[in-house]
Homo-oligomer: A and B are copies of this chain.
Amino acid sequence: MKKEEVLSKLRHGVIVSCQGDPKVNPMGTPENLLLMARCAKLGGCVGFRANMPQNVGPIKKEFPDMPMVGIWKIVSPGSDVYITPNMEAVDTLVGLGCEIIAADATDRLNANGEKAYTMMTKIKEKYPDVLAMADIADINDARLAAKAGADICSTTLSGYTAYTQDKQGKCDFDLVRQIRQENLGMFIITEGKIWTREDAVKAYECGADCIVIGTAITAPIAITKRFVTAVDGHFGK
């Protein structure tokens, strides 16, 4: 798939993120995440995001025409950077056919002592036909990712870094607006904490080109918990 075709398929649609840790989530096995992807496709999504080769591979194989945002979360001692933090991970995901590789592109040091956003340059140099997607947390990250050559930027990490702790729990619409206003030349994805239809529409109103929804669709444990917590709160439990 040509890069422009990929972006055209995604534009103004819903990407569904199919993730889950099988150690704590029965839905998190490769087989069950594929099942979720099937359901998301039947529901009208335009692409997928998945983590780790064992989950990315089967979904990509069954849906070759659906753009796949591949990531590989690898936790390394001494660094907070864990989303696709090295080129070995990228090589594997590209080998599985991912049209888009997302990686941490924040202004933080990875386990190799390099700034995370330099991954964008590395991906573009080695794989010019693959779209490099910058998972960023604030506008500074977005600017650095754009300079490093990212094709796409996504608000994925807002609320999950030390410098965005104040953004926890809610979708970061302000960040989407800022990225749009600065006209950084990247395709903009709103990702993270989209729970309602209103969130989804607002993400677009703020200037997104596409949105990623994960937990609210593919994590029945978290969805149940959200309802139960609201009810418990009502009864002061």
In the assembled complex, which residues on chain B have CB atoms less than 8 Å from the CB atom of A235?
12, 204
Complex contact A224–B44 (CB within 8 A): yes
Say whether A40 faces chain B, with CB atoms less than 8 Å apart.
Answer: yes
Complex contact A220–B43 (CB within 8 A): yes
As for how many copies of this chain the complex holds, the number is 2
Say whether A96 faces chain B, with CB atoms less than 8 Å apart.
Answer: no
- Output the nearest chain B residue to A45 by Cβ-Cβ distance: B224
Complex contact B230–A197 (CB within 8 A): yes
In the assembled complex, which residues on chain B have CB atoms less than 8 Å from the CB atom of A197?
226-227, 230
Complex contact B25–A39 (CB within 8 A): yes
In the assembled complex, which residues on chain B have CB atoms less than 8 Å from the CB atom of A201?
230-231, 233-234
Indicate with 1 or 0, residue by residue over A37-68, a CB within 8 angstroms of chain B CB atoms. 01110111100000000000000000000000
Say whether A196 faces chain B, with CB atoms less than 8 Å apart.
Answer: yes
